[in-house]
Amino acid sequence: MRDPSPTTDETTGPYRWRWLILVAMLVAELMDLLDASIVNVAGPALEESLGAGSVGLQWVIGGYALTLGAGLVLGGRLGDRYGRRRMFLIGLAAFTATSLLCALAPNIGALIAFRLLQGTAGAMLLPQGLGLLRENFSGPELTKVFAVFGPVLGLGGIIGPVLGGFLIEGDFFGLGWRSVFLVNLPIGAAALAVAARFVPRRPGDRTVRVDLTGAALVAVACALLVLPLNQGQEDGWPLWTWLSMAASAGGFALFALQQRRTAAAGREPLVTPGLLRKPAFTVGLGGIALFFGGLVGTQLVLTLYLQIGRHFTAGDAGLGNLPLAVGTAIGGAVSGALLADRIGRAVLQVGPLVQLAGAALLWFELDGLDPASFSILEIAPGVAVCGVGAGLVIAALFGFVLAAVDDHEIGSASGVLSAVQSVGGSVGVAVFGSVFFARARAGDFTTGYHHALIVQACLVAAFLAITFLLPRKSRPEEEQHGTTPTGATPDARRTTV
């Protein structure tokens, strides 16, 4: 049967319906962003409905990011081989279907399994977006496309916890927390209809080989890292947790070796081998893992503190995230419009210092709280300052890391950075969740938050040290078309609250 989707001819000029492709891409990105953040406010509801404990909640939130990050690079290669339109439609349909499965989950074990599948579907879906945009836009139009990404995805990040709180607290049709997954069904169906009708069909390159061995090594190494971090606090950190983390380090080292050998044998690795030989790029990977691990972890702890420690409703906890979101938006605007171009790499050092100042302010705000009359306004200044510092970094970070990469390596590098960002976020959920719940189980929520701030300060300080090894200037935006322009990176989609 003939595929009803339109085709394009490079000689006939721009594709007529190309702006609808952008709409479909943005909807897919927003679905991912919502699912990465909307569940943060569902903790008490999941505990009441499914008996989810602290470990279960960490897996529901972090498990999605784990499989998403572990599969992003593989998803990009599948798009190269089988066609980006085909993989986009498959990924979008699977993401929508697994959202329904999550909503129907009868117990916490099933919900975790479905979240892992949902992350895998997201890994097949998201890498296709940039490739489709590059195929259908060029020149000044492509600049406009990327200019749209930042504000829209930033708005989606703010909406996530607020929308989640609204849906859970509203308990529409008695659905409770299940509605945070059901909201994806009409959105996904509409995006699927638009994409199937208007995204042009282009064949993939069947000569591209997919490195399944490398993909399996990454997945196993990620699992060996996140599993003990999630379970260790609950089980008392037995020997197997330490052995698993050590095996994870060995797994990542084995992956790097396997990639080099695959390239040396004339086959195509998942990761362009030259990337792993660039010190600034590999150092940048560590910086991205540290930064996003701390950012995602502290976002989670803020929500847990408000809901569990101060008995906020889901709706109020969602609104309680607004100071962080507003601060992040302000920091991102200042960095993108002013500081990144003028002071170069120094913006990545100012940002962590502002974050540390915000964490210190928040520490003293927590010390002076009266539990009987607590209001979000009492900690809003410290939370907002932390957000400003994070925004300063977010708007410039990927551009500076990519400055160490040759033009022909940018596509592979962007995929690796996205994967490290997601896995770093998953590790952050596990680490910060364990630190907070270690004290929260005894009812000492303020100390739990204090301990999380100590972990945040350590990660921010380590990130600050790493920034001195990055290039002094980011890549000019015109050199990044079609990949990751400074200040409008799709990788920032999960970075604002």
Average pLDDT of the segment spanning 15-22: 77
**Interatomic CA distance for residues 103 and 180, integer angstroms:** 8
pTM: 0.79
The token pair that represents 181 in the structure block:
């997954």
Question: For residue 10, is pLDDT > 80?
Answer: no
CATH 2.60.40.1180 fits 275-497, yes or no: no
Reported as a pLDDT band with limits 50, 70 and 90, residue 127 is confident
CATH superfamily of 1-210: MFS general substrate transporter like domains (1.20.1250.20)
Question: For residue 439, is pLDDT > 60?
Answer: yes
Instruction: Report the pLDDT value the prediction gives residue 462, as an integer from 0 to 100.
Output: 95
Bridge partners (DSSP) listed for residue 201: 7
Instruction: Report the pLDDT value the prediction gives residue 497, as an integer from 0 to 100.
Output: 37
Average pLDDT of the segment spanning 447-458: 94
**In 83-138, which residue ranges form alpha helices assigned H by DSSP?**
84-104, 108-125, 127-136
Segment 130-139, tens digit of pLDDT: 667 767 776 6
Task: Tell me the C-alpha to C-alpha distance, in Å, between residue 380 and each of 197, 325, 362, 374, 383.
Answer: 46, 11, 8, 12, 5
- Secondary structure element (H or E) that encloses residue 80, with its range: helix 54-82
Reported as a pLDDT band with limits 50, 70 and 90, residue 482 is very low
CA-wise closest residue to 482 among 123, 25, 86 = 25
Segment 274-330, tens digit of pLDDT: 787 888 888 888 999 999 899 888 988 998 899 888 888 888 888 888 888 888 888
Instruction: Report the pLDDT value the prediction gives residue 3, as an integer from 0 to 100.
Output: 45
The DSSP secondary structure of 6-17, one letter per residue, reads -B--GGG-S-TT
Q: What is the DSSP letter of 5?
A: S
CA-wise closest residue to 44 among 168, 161, 183, 159 = 168
Least confidently predicted of 4-18, 63-77, 162-176 = 4-18
Q: Is-contact 127 194, C-beta < 8 A?
A: no
Q: In the predicted model, what is the mean pLDDT of the chain? A: 81
Instruction: Report the pLDDT value the prediction gives residue 9, as an integer from 0 to 100.
Output: 45
Instruction: Report the pLDDT value the prediction gives residue 138, as an integer from 0 to 100.
Output: 67
Average pLDDT of the segment spanning 209-216: 88
**Interatomic CA distance for residues 402 and 474, integer angstroms:** 7
**Interatomic CA distance for residues 131 and 488, integer angstroms:** 16
Which phi and psi (to 5°) does residue 152 adopt? -65, -45
Which phi and psi (to 5°) does residue 191 adopt? -65, -40
Instruction: Report the pLDDT value the prediction gives residue 143, as an integer from 0 to 100.
Output: 60
The DSSP secondary structure of 256-299, one letter per residue, reads HHHHHHHHHTTPPPSS-GGGGG-HHHHHHHHHHHHHHHHHHHHH
Instruction: Report the pLDDT value the prediction gives residue 333, as an integer from 0 to 100.
Output: 80
Segment 417-432, tens digit of pLDDT: 888 888 888 888 889 9
Q: Which residues contact 282 (CB under 8 A, 6 or more apart)?
A: 275, 276
Bridge partners (DSSP) listed for residue 7: 201
Most confident range, picked from 3-7, 205-209, 350-354, 416-420: 350-354
Task: Tell me the C-alpha to C-alpha distance, in Å, between residue 98 and each of 23, 64, 185, 332.
Answer: 22, 11, 10, 33
Query: Higher pLDDT residue, 426 or 52?
Result: 426
**Interatomic CA distance for residues 421 and 289, integer angstroms:** 6
What's the length of the chain? Answer: 497
Least confidently predicted of 59-68, 150-159, 394-403, 465-474 = 150-159
Cβ atoms < 10 Å from Cβ of 21: 24
CA-wise closest residue to 291 among 463, 47, 116 = 463
Segment 483-494, tens digit of pLDDT: 444 444 444 444
Question: For residue 4, is pLDDT > 50?
Answer: no
Q: What is the DSSP letter of 106?
A: S
Q: Is-contact 5 201, C-beta < 8 A?
A: yes
CA 126 to chain centre: 11
Radius of gyration of the chain (CA): 22
Q: Which residues contact 477 (CB under 8 A, 6 or more apart)?
A: 143, 399, 485, 486
**Interatomic CA distance for residues 414 and 288, integer angstroms:** 12
**Degrees, nearest 5: CA angle 426-378-306:** 40
**Degrees, nearest 5: CA angle 294-285-249:** 85
**Interatomic CA distance for residues 17 and 142, integer angstroms:** 15
**Interatomic CA distance for residues 41 and 167, integer angstroms:** 10
Query: Higher pLDDT residue, 12 or 271?
Result: 271
Q: Is-contact 398 491, C-beta < 8 A?
A: yes
**Degrees, nearest 5: CA angle 243-247-253:** 155
Q: What is the DSSP letter of 470?
A: S
Which phi and psi (to 5°) does residue 147 adopt? -65, -30
Average pLDDT of the segment spanning 393-417: 74
Instruction: Report the pLDDT value the prediction gives residue 226, as an integer from 0 to 100.
Output: 86
